[in-house]
Copies of this chain bind each other. A is one copy, B any other.
Amino acid sequence: MEELTRRVRTFAEERDWQQFHTPKNLAMALTGEVGELVAELQWLTPEQSASVMSDPDSGARIKAEIGDVMIYLTRLADVLGIDLMEAALTKLADSALRYPVEQARGSAAKR
């Protein structure tokens, strides 16, 4: 993860793109990439979406979109000074408390 963070940072610095990379702008870029990812899945049934990677064209596009989303998320966390991995693990621990196994089993209800 540190490796990716560093490479994305270098990529931006080499192009003098730090000026564009405010958290606000990066959150918008993340939105755009998530939108492209969602567009790949929008007309599929849930079942079709589950086997979408077996189609080489769709699979390649989706992998590229997932890559883009991860790049912007990594960059956004970096400029905010957030450890992405730690933030996810902390949130997962919170969710474990909010959704106890016994009560949450098989239910999609929000808490």
In contact, A76 and B87 (Cβ under 8 angstroms): no
Within 8 A of B (CB), among A30-50: 30-39, 41-47, 49-50
Copies, count: 4
* A73-B71 CB under 8 A given contacts A31-B38, A52-B23: no
Cα-based distance from A12 to B103 in the complex (angstroms): 13
Q: Per-position contact with B for A82-104: 1 when CB-CB < 8 Å, else 0?
A: 10110111111011100101001
Binding site for B on A (CB under 8 A): 1, 4, 7-8, 11, 14-17, 19-20, 22-25, 27-39, 41-47, 49-50, 52-53, 62-64, 66-71, 73-74, 76-77, 79-82, 84-85, 87-92, 94-96, 99, 101, 104-106, 108
